[in-house]
Amino acid sequence: MNRVVITGIGIYSCIGQNVDQVRDSLYAGKSGIGLDPERDVQGFRSSLTGIVPQPALKELLNRRQRIGLAEQGEYAYIATIEALKMAGMDEDFLTNNEVGILYGNDSSAKPVIYAVDQLRLKKDTTLIGSGSIFQSMNSTVTMNLATIFKLKGINMTISAACASGSHAIGLGYTLIKNGLQDQIICGGAQEINYQSMGSFDGLGTFSMRQDSPTEASRPFDKNRDGLIPSGGGATVIIESLESAKKRGANILGEILGYGFSSNGDHISAPNVEGPMRSLQMALDQSNVKANEIEYINAHATSTIAGDLSEGKAILNVFGEKQPYLSSTKSMTGHEMWMAGASEIVYSLLMMHNGFIAPNINLTDPEDELKNLNFAFDVIKKDFNLFLSNSFGFGGTNSSIIVKKFRE
């Protein structure tokens, strides 16, 4: 079995558009949440959203490369440039090696809506334009990035709701561990436009705390009232230890385990047993005892039911000695398809800069969760081992354990 290491990360999010900006936001506990007035016009219950600027790509990509990219593909592209640069993989390397791509993405609503609107208006399919199909498909991110970067390895999108990005990394890890690939660009991307969020808003899942956007996302807090939709792109380059050493790459961490499970229960309501099984599987696979984990980046999205069930699962699995715990979604909102990948990036940035990011807005934790070891404020701490949880609709769960690299 190969050891699997991380050699590059890239991020484009509402708390920063590169790793340096994001590191500073995480340390400062800075929120990226704001209001989108268009949502109010369109009849949304809540206008709260992560605020992510559109990247300028005209100087970076030609017309054909640009017109196939949906919004989330643009975010993913910027994050991937940063990650490839950090990993030291240039165009020549990508052209001459079987580098793969596994990216999490589970919607591309805006281009689909645009295409149908055009068709209804023009009554002519040609007038939808040539970029639409490549923007509309669920695999839009991987089909575009694989073309732009001329990738020759595995090429597919992982759709697993809000655990998509985490499963993408986990499945990449599995392929490399088993010797089927040497290097894979993993990650997650999430569109943020209002068109993609209406049906979710309609479920009453989003926070209504519109009078104070930066205080709206408050995972584990008694006064939480829902999640805030957010998005962007996060890339994590993984490769075999042998490949990283051969290339002389800087190793950011080693993936020790990937636990996964399905609740076998309700489509949207979480439970405690499913996440417990993915947590335990990740620990067993990593050959790590629960009390050795130093930090957990929680999935906790600031919903009433979700935070409570995850908190209980963590209490059950980690028992007496609870690792530090925070949900970076308190700052970013819920980055959904992207979250499992971005939260690996956030945790790596913490591990390499000696701090644990705060779970902001957590002033009064749930009574049943008071024994969790929350990072209420930023904690300066060198740590070597973390776990990141991601859960999604349909009861899909993923837990990934990463360790600072040691020979």
Instruction: List active site positions.
Output: 162, 299, 334
Q: Give the shortest CB-111-to-other proteins separation in angstroms.
A: 15
Query: Toward other proteins, which CB reaches closer, 51 or 61?
Result: 61
Q: Give the shortest CB-66-to-other proteins separation in angstroms.
A: 10
Query: Toward other proteins, which CB reaches closer, 130 or 250?
Result: 130
- Return d(Cα 259, Cα 286) in angstroms, integer: 9
Query: Toward other proteins, which CB reaches closer, 123 or 406?
Result: 123
- Return d(Cα 287, Cα 254) in angstroms, integer: 13
Q: Give the shortest CB-67-to-other proteins separation in angstroms.
A: 8
Chain positions contacting other proteins, by CB under 8 A:
62-64, 67, 122, 124, 126-127, 129-131
Q: Give the shortest CB-372-to-other proteins separation in angstroms.
A: 53
Query: Toward other proteins, which CB reaches closer, 92 or 126?
Result: 126
Query: Toward other proteins, which CB reaches closer, 95 or 130?
Result: 130
Q: Which one, of 233, 173, 190, lies nearest residue 3 by Cα?
A: 173
Q: Give the shortest CB-62-to-other proteins separation in angstroms.
A: 7
